[in-house]
Amino acid sequence: MIKTQVQIPDDLFRQAKRVAADYEMSFAEVVRRSLERTLPSYPPKAADWQPPEPLDLGMRCRIDNDEWRLLANEPDYQPRHLRKGRK
């Protein structure tokens, strides 16, 4: 077992001491139990995570970056391949 020091706000300390007294356990036991309940909420982060590869959606036309910007910001915009009168 490791012995350590921590700094906690006065109010939190008083609440933990009250719980320890009410339930007849040591302050250290309150801290241990609190950590045991809290730590599972924080799973280890994967250090080597990479974003997934984009899926090929079978697009038959090329849309450049400027068109993506316009498509995202102007709902009535028609990309080149959907414009009327295209030959």
For residues 53-79, give the mean pLDDT: 68
Give residue-wise pLDDT tens across range 31-57: 999 999 999 998 888 778 777 777 776
Pair 80, 67: CB distance under 8 Å = yes
pLDDT at position 63 is 64
The larger pLDDT score, comparing residue 71 to residue 42, is at 42
pLDDT at position 50 is 78
Pair 27, 18: CB distance under 8 Å = no
The residue among 4, 53, 59, 62 whose CA lies nearest residue 32 is 4
Structure tokens at 80: 């080149």
Per the prediction, the chain carries an average pLDDT of: 82
Residue 30: other Cβ atoms inside 10 A:
19
Whole-angstrom Cα distance, residue 5 to residue 70?
A: 56
Confidence band, pLDDT 50/70/90 cuts, at residue 87: low
pLDDT at position 44 is 84
